[in-house]
Amino acid sequence: MAALLRSLLAASEKAANIAQLCRQEEALFSLLIEEKRGADKNKKFLQDFKTLADVLIQEVIKHDVGKEFPELQGYIRGEESNKFENGLGETVVVQVCPTQPETATLLQKVLDRNQTAAELLAAAVHQEVVLSDPALDDVTVTISTERMGVWIDPIDSTNQYIRGRGDVMPVNGVYPSGLHSALVLIGVYNRHSGEPVLGIINEPFFQEQMPDRRWKSRYHWGISYEDTNLSSLSRPLPQAVPRVVLSSNERAVLQKALAPLYGEQLCFASGAGYKMLCVALGFVDAYVLSEGTTFKWDSCGPHAILRALGGGIANLAGALRAWRTGQRNLLPELTYNQPVEGAMGADRWANSGGIVAYIHHDHLKAVIATVAAAGDV
């Protein structure tokens, strides 16, 4: 009876199809990559097209899940706003229409009348996804949706998505950059407690299939609800020698602070969601980020998966404060129902103060002890 899980997984697969399509269909791909050559007006249109891929995916998830679970409508939110101004100065609200031709007509308005592109996208939006995953038959937990909210990041690691390198090689399992780090992230949280409950990470660019070089997706999920912890993944063992993944922009002061724990075992990767996935897959013991550059839609889904595996995501600044005041067993986790006080725009939903994603609680403690000892982070 895991109806919500099935619905969200199907939506994530549709989202992954749209993300793949924008890279694989010439009519759409040419819009994604042409920016550098365009004139100013053209640049704006192409910029919009990139956003359109994101917005459309978000709207599709909202539409499909909201249709099945009307009580969630109004509580499904994501990174993007669905209002667009096209090259002709018209404001268009992107949404899924009742029929495919209507959606195509609406998309044409955003796409400056590009009919082929609009029709390709509309077909993907209205396509029915059939999940064939026998493992889901064993999931019997019923999640009461009354109190839930949903955070969506339709495409995380957009930069890598646009750049589109499919040939980057992994280092000890971790792809430092490239299409592998572009993910669809969906998280369900309890609107009252703020706790993450169910998470999905879909990798649209998991494997390139030969001979036609089409991409194959794969997904992971986790549920941490009341007394139930279930996941498509198994709890990984700690690394023999501790390893951490960081943003390639991470401040030198944090890198230095972590040296006593990790020595040379620092690895770097793009994509906030992807780094969380690396923790869940057991390639690294932690992802540490010193700044508030991730958002609720980045972490909610991965957080639920990490919880289902016995780990979590702590607030770095909050955990350091707790550590220093002797509350070492109460390191605060991220929550998803409250905006940052006094912040504006997207920053309202930032994970301010940084984060630590982990699987083993002892390892979280080791990270916090190490950073606290360094003093000046």
Active site residue 359: no
Q: How many CB atoms lie within 10 A of CB 41?
A: 10
Binding range to Ca ion, per CB under 5 A, among 1-9, 24-32, 149-157, 285-293: 149-157
Query: What is the spatial distance between Cα 222 and Cα 301, in angstroms, rounded to a whole number?
Result: 8
Which of the residues 51 through 90 are near ligand 2IP (CB under 6 A)?
79
On whether the CB atoms of residues 358 and 314 are closer than 8 A, the answer is yes
Chosen residue from 119, 156, 203, 333 binding Ca ion by CB under 5 A: 156
Is 212 annotated to bind a ligand? Reply is: no
Longest dimension (CA), the chain: 63
Residue 79 marked ligand-binding? yes
Distances (CA, A) of 187 to 245, 271, 273, 353: 22, 16, 11, 21
Residue type, position 42, single letter = N
CA distances from 16 to 10, 298, 328 (A): 10, 16, 41
Q: Is 335 a catalytic residue?
A: no
3-state SS of 179-215 is: HHHCEEEEEEEECCCCCEEEEEEEEEEEEEECCCCEE
Task: Between 118 and 155, name the residue whose CB sits nearer to Ca ion.
Answer: 155
Find the binding residues for Ca ion in span 16-35 (CB under 5 A): none
With CB under 6 A as the contact rule, the residue among 17, 108, 217, 270 that binds ligand 2IP is 270
Assess 47 for contact with ligand 2IP (CB under 6 A).
no
Strand partners, 355: 289, 315
- Residue 247: contacted member of Ca ion, ligand 2IP, none (CB under 5 to 8 Å, by partner type): ligand 2IP
Query: Given candidates 158, 228, 255, 335, which one binds ligand 2IP under the rule CB under 6 A?
Result: 158
Pairing of strands 183-190, 196-209: antiparallel
Is 155 annotated in a binding site? The answer is yes
156 is catalytic: yes
Catalytic residue (one of 48, 119, 156, 203): 156
User: Judged by CB, which is closer to Ca ion: 159, or 193?
Assistant: 159
Does residue 376 have an active-site annotation? no
Residues flagged as binding site for Mg(2+): 79, 153, 155-156, 298
Q: Which residues are catalytic?
A: 54, 79, 153, 155-156, 158, 298
Residues contributing to the site for Ca ion (CB under 5 A): 79, 153, 155-156, 298
